Chain A
């Protein structure tokens, strides 16, 4: 096997539930040791994709290859992977130690080796001293770490995570996010991570896969998704605030384009008479270092300008804004990104 061959390859996979939409035409190739985030709104098929990879569901079409081996119809236990569930799925009747070594015991690993691996996993996750506790006696963050320990104890090269942070409070989430990323880098494992939170996806992942309605919208690095959204859905999903979309007809010189995208940081407020668009203020959102001022315009949606410091502009006030042409993103009538020079589809 050459190193250039992807570690996980998903080809044209589809899964349908009698009439209900599952996933359709999913293609992925994931290099060894990368951190991949499956991102999207709820019901977009990201969890289904993960379950197809894990073998908990079998695809109706297509093939899945892991480490050069076709595992399309293989049982979950034959795929050499571990999984962290959203609810952690800790066995309530077993202690922390028994939970972590559950899989080793099932696979009949020798007791001495089991003990050694347990120690290492607990050390990495900072759970030494909690061996005899039951999951019910642990806090949410500790339970989450037990789930992580169980996932890494067997040294499986692939780890699947299904929204592992969604049950934690916001503060803990930020720190665990860093822990997971560090763990992945230190252990050199491949992680496929499902989330609906774009902050998680953008901050942790090497590759983000954005999905909607069972189909992949864009696969790329976080920068790619942010700076070169493949279509209007990606543009309006990624970023906080997301990209504003302006009808081409409203901008002189750009009538040929259906939609034009513009990020809040690329917008400047100017003196009356010098602006390219005249908008009304709809609300101000103060975030500390900056204030997002929401604007309304008859032929634009999601228009926002980022202004430094605290601003308190009364709603309804007229503002004129400007922006430079190189910061604009262009989309055709079907929503796909096109190059302003050639007019061709540009992904």
Chain B
């Protein structure tokens, strides 16, 4: 009985894995074959790089890559600064109304980002940041999830370390920089992973707030490239998709072990 159950479990896991990875496998297959071979699943068909050549020439991909890279970097830096300071304040600084303010911040988690799109659009325009990378990143910098995560990480730091640093002459900022930030490194790493992959893949908001190839990230560029009115076929879209996801995918495969460990360590605390 238990043997059967165990087999059933591994079978279920395997099935899920296959279902999840099949679109990616198909895109990979299609990207390296001529369109007719790809659709017909002609297993003996010759492999080709022609799709990549066509796709590469079809849009300013390098610019898109650079935009996405700058976007995730700007967001991550902004999030690190805001969540560190806010998390520290909520974890270790006593000020009147702290709990109420913290609950207000947490309420942000209940609001779908899509609901705020119009409001954010108005705000970003008013700030004069429409169609800029900063404008795309701005609404995500004060992340409630990040603030919560940092607060939890900082709360796990033994109070004696804080006090020892005070005795040794550290001010608030010194304590934060020399004690709390280094000790929360696994949390920063885990959070960076979530943030980078989320914003690498983010689509709707950048689509709305960008207007030119100079600011458009990969996801938006890819959707415009693959739009039906451009008359591009499935193999070329697959090639473009493979190019877009490749950096993240490679990074994940290379750092797989560290990623999982970072999550585990951040979770245990």
Contacts and interface: CB of A to CB of B under 8 A. Distances in A.
A106 interface: yes
B167 A93 contact: no
A102 B167 CA distance: 11
Nearest to A77: B169
Interface string B162-176: 011111111000100
A85 B169 contact: no
Nearest to B164: A89
A82 B167 contact: yes
B82 interface: no
B161 A91 contact: yes
B164 A83 contact: yes
Contacts of B178: 91, 102, 106
Contact of A83 (B167, B179, B183, B185): B167
B171 to A, nearest CB: 8
A140 interface: no
Contacts of A77: 166-170
Given A87-B158, A93-B182, A93-B183, A76 B174 contact: no
Contact of A106 (B160, B163, B168): B168
A76 B166 CA distance: 6
Contacts of A190: none
Q: How large is the interface on A (under 10, 10 to 19, 20 to 34, 35 or more residues)?
A: 20 to 34
B205 to A, nearest CB: 37
Given A93-B183, A106-B178, A85 B164 contact: yes
Contacts of B158: 87, 89
Contacts of B185: 93
Interface string A32-76: 000000000000000000000010100000000000000000011
A54 B167 CA distance: 8
Interface in B157-208: 158, 160-161, 163-170, 174, 178-179, 182-183, 185
A103 interface: yes
A205 interface: no
A81 B183 contact: no
A107 interface: yes
Nearest to A82: B167
Contacts of B160: 85-87, 89
Contacts of A107: 168-169
A283 to B, nearest CB: 41
Interface centre among B161, B163, B167, B182, by most chain A C-beta atoms within 10 angstroms, is B167
A92 interface: yes
Contacts of A83: 163-164, 167
Nearest to A104: B168
Contact of A103 (B161, B163, B168, B183): B168
Contact of B169 (A89, A103, A150): A103
Interface centre among A54, A56, A94, by most chain B C-beta atoms within 10 angstroms, is A56
Nearest to A147: B164
Nearest to A81: B167
Interface in A90-121: 91-94, 102-103, 106-107
22 contacts: A56-B163, A76-B166, A76-B167, A77-B167, A77-B169, A77-B170, A82-B167, A87-B158, A87-B160, A89-B160, A89-B161, A89-B163, A91-B161, A91-B164, A91-B179, A91-B183, A93-B182, A102-B165, A103-B167, A103-B168, A103-B169, A107-B169
Interface of B: 158, 160-161, 163-170, 174, 178-179, 182-183, 185
Interface of A: 54, 56, 75-77, 81-83, 85-87, 89, 91-94, 102-103, 106-107, 150
Given A91-B161, A91-B164, A107-B169, 19 more contacts: A54-B167, A56-B167, A75-B166, A76-B163, A76-B166, A77-B168, A83-B164, A85-B164, A86-B160, A87-B160, A89-B158, A91-B178, A91-B179, A93-B182, A93-B183, A102-B168, A106-B168, A107-B168, A150-B168
